[in-house]
Structure 1
Amino acid sequence: MLTRWFCLGILCLILSLPAGGHERPDPGSLQLASVHAAVAVLGEDRPLYEKRADVAVPIASLTKLMTAYVVLESGAALDEWLTVVPREQTPAKNAYSRIRIGSRLQRGELLRLALMSSENLAAHVLAAHHPGGRKGFVAAMNEAAQRLGMTRSRFVDPSGLSPDNRASARDLLRLVNAAHAYPEIREYSTTPARTARFRGPRYTLGYGNTNPLVHRAGWRVTLSKTGYLNESGRCLVMVANPGGRPLAMVFLNSFGSRTPIGDAGRVRRWLETGEGGSVAGAALEYERRRAAALKSTRPAAEGPESMSRR
C-alpha cells in the first residue's frame, strides 16, 4: 500500500510540472501588454495564467472563430457555391471588400478567407446563406456560446464589426478548445496565403494570413485568429506548440499590431525560462490607461482583477 501511494504521489508531481520537468513559473514574473489574457494547455479548463480574464470586452474579428464553429456545426456542404449578397446594413467602419457582389465562391473558401485574412464580407455571406438568414445565424452563435459555457459572451453580428460582440478571455479559451477539434478550422485559420477563384464573373483575389507567426515553423501554430477595432484594441487567439505541447493563448486589447505577437513571445519565454521579459513603454502606458478606465467603470459584481496560474 505504501508503495502504491508513493507511486501515485510521484505521478501527481510529474503531471504538475511543465515540459522539461521545471517548476511552473511564477505568474508575477510575466508582464503582458494586453489588458486581458488567458493561457492554458489545450483542452484544460484551468488556465496556467490569467489577467482580467472574466471581463466581457469587445472582441472584434475574433468573432469569426464562432462564425466558423457555427458553420461547421450546421453540417452545411463546404463545396456548395454561394452567391455574394450585399450587406443588409452598411457598417460604419471596416466595410471595404474586394469581393464583387453577385459573384460566387464555395462555402469552404469563404470560411477560409474569413479566418485567415479576416474578410468581413465573406463572414456576412456565410451568415446570409444559413437557415433563417443572418438573424438565424446570430441566434445560433449565441446558442453555441451558451452550450460551450461562455457565460460572459454576446454576439450581434458574424464578422465582428460591431463592438457589441463581447466575450471574456476565459470564454474564448472555451471557444478555442471547441473550435480546435475541427480540422477545417485548424487548416483554414493557419493557411499562410490563398488565391480565391470566383465564378460569375470569373476572377481571382489573393489573400494573406493576418498572423505572422503562422509562417514561423518554430511556433507550430495550429489555430489562429486576429482582430481589431478602436473599441477592442489589437486582439489575438492562437494555439501553438512552441515547446512540444499545445498551448491556447488569448490576448485582448493591446496597443499596436505587433503587440499581441510580442505577448505570445513573452508567454513562451516565461514558460521556458520563468522570465517574462519587458513591455515597450508606449504599449505599457496604453495598458495602464485602459486598465484604469476599466476599473472605474467595471461593475462590482464582476469581482476583482485576477492573475493566477494552475
Structure 2
Amino acid sequence: MLRLVWLMMLVLTAGFSLPVQAEAGRSRAQAGKVVRAGAPAKTVKAAKATARKPPAVKARGKRLKATRAVPATSARQVVRIKRPRAHQHYRAATVQSDHPAALASNAVLILDPATRVVLFEKNAESVMPIASLTKLMTALVVVEARQDMDEVIAITDDDIDRMKNSTSRLRVGTRLPRSAMLHLALMSSENRAANALGRNFPGGARAFVAAMNARAKSLGMTRTRYVEPTGLSSANVSTAGDLAKLVVAAQRHPLIREYSTDEDHTIQQAGHTTPYHNSNRLISNASWDIDLQKTGYISEAGRCMVLHTEIGGRDVVMVFLDSQGSMSRAADANRVRAWLASDHRSAQQ
C-alpha cells in the first residue's frame, strides 16, 4: 500500500515538472538569439556590455561618448559642434540696456579718468591678447627709465619678426636716435623699432620684459602679462580694465602723447626718405580731440584700440578689444562719442 502511494506521488511530481522544464527550454532558446547558449562567460559579458553601450556622436574626426541614448525626434538628426576661437572661452558679451549702440568690440571699457567712474563696460575683465597695444607699455618703460633719447641705436637681424613674418619698411642696418624709434613704434606701430627699444634697455630684452611686468603690477594691472615688447605674441594678454589704467598712466607723459597722436613722420635710411603715417584713422579726423591713442591687430586679438580723448569738455578713456573688421573699432568709438555727447547735451538742458 505504501509502495502504491509512493508511485502515485512520483507520477504527479513528474507531471508538474515537465511544463516547467519546457518553459525553461523556451527561455533558453529565446536568450540564444542574443547570446548563444553555452558561450564562455567573457563572451556573455562582452555582449551584454555592447547591448548597454550608448551610441556615439562623431564630430570633426573625434568620437564623443554619449551619456545616454536619445530617441530621434525626426527622420534625420544633425549634430553641429562649432569649434570656438582661441579666446572665445571668456564669458559672453553683454551690452548694458541703457546704452544706445550695439558695439562690435568683444570687450569695452569707457572711463572718466578724473573721477575713475566707469561710464560703460562690456566684458571689461575678460583676459585676451592685446596685440600692439603692448607698445604703450613699451613706451612707458622707456620714458620712465629716462634713457637718452638722442642715443643712436641700430636695427639688426634680431628685430626681424619670425613669429608672424610681418613685413617692415625699417631696414636692417638702419641707425636712428632712440626718440625716432619710439616715435615710429607709437605712431605707426613699427615692430622692429619696438623690439630695438627692448634690446637696448639696460640688461637687454629679458630685463626689459621684466620691467614691463613690474610696471604693470605697480599700476594694479593684475590680469596683464607681457612676454615681448611688440605685441606680435598672443601671449601678451590683458583686460580692458587693466588697459584703462595703462592709458591713464601713459597720458601723463608729454612725449607719449605727442608721438602717439602725430599724423606723419619721415626718416632717412640708406640714402632714401621713408614716410610713415599714423595707424589710427581717427587722428586725421578734425572732429576728434585725441590726447593719446594706440591701435593693434593680430589674428588672435582682433582689432584693438585705446584712446584718451575729450568729449563735451570731459576727458574720457576708451578701450576696445577684439573687434572684427578694419573699420569696426573706429565705428565703435564714434558710437560711444555720439552717446556721450548726447548725454552731455541732455544734462545741460
Report the TM-score when normalising by structure 1.
Answer: 0.77
Q: Output the CA distance in 2 between the equivalents of 1:108 and 1:43.
A: 29
CA positional deviation for 1:133: 0.8
Query: Structure 1 28/245 Cα, relative in aligned 2: closer, same or farther at 3 Å?
Result: closer
Q: Which residue of 1 aligns with 2:281?
A: 212
After superposition, residues 122-201 of structure 1 pair within 5 angstroms as 122-198=193-269, 201=270
Asked whether the 8 Å contact 1:27–1:49 carries over to 2, the reply is no
After superposition, residues 41-190 of structure 1 pair within 5 angstroms as 41-87=112-158, 90-190=161-261
Q: Output the CA distance in 1 between the equivalents of 2:160 and 2:303.
A: 25
Letter paired with 1:35: N
Letter paired with 2:323: S
Q: Output the CA distance in 2 between the equivalents of 1:105 and 1:262.
A: 35
Q: Output the CA distance in 1 between the equivalents of 2:311 and 2:343.
A: 15
After superposition, residues 269-284 of structure 1 pair within 5 angstroms as 269-274=338-343
CA positional deviation for 1:77: 1.1
CA positional deviation for 1:274: 4.9
Q: Which residue of 2 aligns with 1:228?
A: 297
Percent sequence identity over aligned pairs: 46
After superposition, residues 13-32 of structure 1 pair within 5 angstroms as 27-32=98-103
Give 5+ residue unaligned stretches, structure 1: 1-24, 276-310
Deviations 1:97-146 (A, max 9, x none): 12121220011111010011010000000001001111111110000000
Q: Output the CA distance in 2 between the equivalents of 1:202 and 1:179.
A: 34
Q: Which residue of 1 aligns with 2:336?
A: 267
Deviations 1:180-234 (A, max 9, x none): 0000010000110110134xx4433110001111112221111110000110000
Count of residue correspondences: 249
Asked whether the 8 Å contact 1:123–1:159 carries over to 2, the reply is yes
Q: Output the CA distance in 1 between the equivalents of 2:213 and 2:198.
A: 13
- Radius of gyration: which is bigger? 2
Asked whether the 8 Å contact 1:192–1:215 carries over to 2, the reply is yes
Report the TM-score when normalising by structure 2.
Answer: 0.68
Root-mean-square deviation (CA, aligned residues, Å) is 1.8
Give 5+ residue unaligned stretches, structure 2: 1-95, 345-349
